[in-house]
Amino acid sequence: MWRDRILWVFLTAGALFWAALYVLTTPVWRSGWPLQEPLVFLRLALAYPVLEEIVFRGALQSYFARHLPALPGPVGSANIATSILFSAMHLYSHPPLWAAAVFIPSLVFGYFRERHNSLATPIALHVFYNSGYLWIFGGR
């Protein structure tokens, strides 16, 4: 998994996204907040991503892969269907535009689910994306 150059591209893309969002929004950054509220940070940065990947990439994407026709290219129909549901689920706790934006990382998680035939990579990416975002923007 860690020797996959495409994975490193998407890890770097996450950090570049945080940097761009930081420059565009100039949040008040409380860098130590995860240590002040460790259970909140661990729930949002670790527990939710692991559970979401088990449900969405492990169960739903696997189900859709067996029941939907395959699409040519790197993004399959199972990944697209799963990502639509994943984004819709985020409407519960996010504004509509932000929930829709979750579609892109969801496609990335699904791509690596299919590429590595494992949940380890999408879980690692999801934890990384959530951790970085929450560390920078979650402590407002």
- What are the sequence ranges of the domains in the chain? 5-137
Give the whole-angstrom CA distance, residue 111 versus residue 64: 14
Q: Residue 140: is its pLDDT beyond 80?
A: no
Buried b (16+ CB within 10 A) or exposed e, 42-66: eebbeeebeebbeebbbebbeebbe
**Which tokens in the block code for residue 117?**
């035939």
**Which tokens in the block code for residue 71?**
């699409």
pLDDT at 29 (0 to 100): 83
Q: What is the pLDDT of residues 104-133, one digit of tens each?
A: 999 999 999 999 999 999 999 999 999 999
> What pTM does this model have?
0.93
**Exposed, middle or buried: residue 130 (CB in 10 Å: 0-12, 13-18, 19+)?**
buried
Q: What is the pLDDT of residues 5-45, one digit of tens each?
A: 999 999 999 999 999 999 999 888 888 999 999 999 999 99
